[in-house]
Structure 1
Amino acid sequence: MNPLLRKLGLPVFCGVGNVALLAASLRESLRSARGGRLQVLGHHWHPHTPGDASDEALVWLDGAPVREVGPLLRRQRAAARSESNAVTGHVTALLPADLVTGREVRTSLPGPLGLPGGYPVRIHGWRRWPLRRRR
């Protein structure tokens, strides 16, 4: 989707989606620490169990590494694709909702154009870009 948006001349500064799904799933699994600052570093394949445990997504809660990420994502990874898509759609809508209100956002976002992402990101002082089509 990002390459299509870029081709249309729209400003793409990040993705949303898979890492948002992972973060939502991790928050649910880490219910006792719901208010903690969660940071996720992952890629488009992390909604599925990696073949090698050393390739698992990296997660920190309040700056401390979270061990055994795979079991925390087990329920999300076992869910039907339609259920995962519904959660992804919901969490994806949260970012633009926060942006249009001008709220500061601290989250993990996928990189643009298919690059790895999930970096701890802080978006603040957001200004609207002029949305022009390239000719």
Structure 2
Amino acid sequence: PSSNISLTYTDGTSVSRGTFDTNSPSLCRVTLQFSVEVLPPISTCVAGSVLPMFLSRTPSHGEVLHASLGQTFQLYAQAQAQKSQIQSFQVSGPENMTQEFSADLSGKAEVILSWTPQQSDLKRLVPVCFTAETTQTQSEMRCVVVMVTRATI
């Protein structure tokens, strides 16, 4: 913990944990496994050169978009890396969201994300995050929020 905390268990007992108490058992028994891939340095960090850069039709980070129940919502994103080839967009969004990717030889690529909100999505604020990827690097991550309503706003 980053500050002193007090834990209360379901049986009513409680215990205090200090900030730097390394002798206490961990707070969680879930084992985390992950890997880290370290790539070689790129020739330049100028956006749009080797590092993919989003183009103007792409929603801004933090933008709130609107979707209606039963109607297909589409999000369009376009990126460019003039000295590299964009191979894909990594997307985190609703489970049934689909993506249609296309790229050209000039380093431009685009993705169209499609999703049809269901009744269980009504009044939800659904985060959608995405990056453009090359073999060497990826763009900044952008996240938008999709607000699901009954009718088009």
TM-score in terms of structure 2 length: 0.20
Higher strand share: 2
Bigger-Rg structure (1/2): 2
Higher helix share: 1
Higher relative contact order (CA 8 A, sep 6+): 1
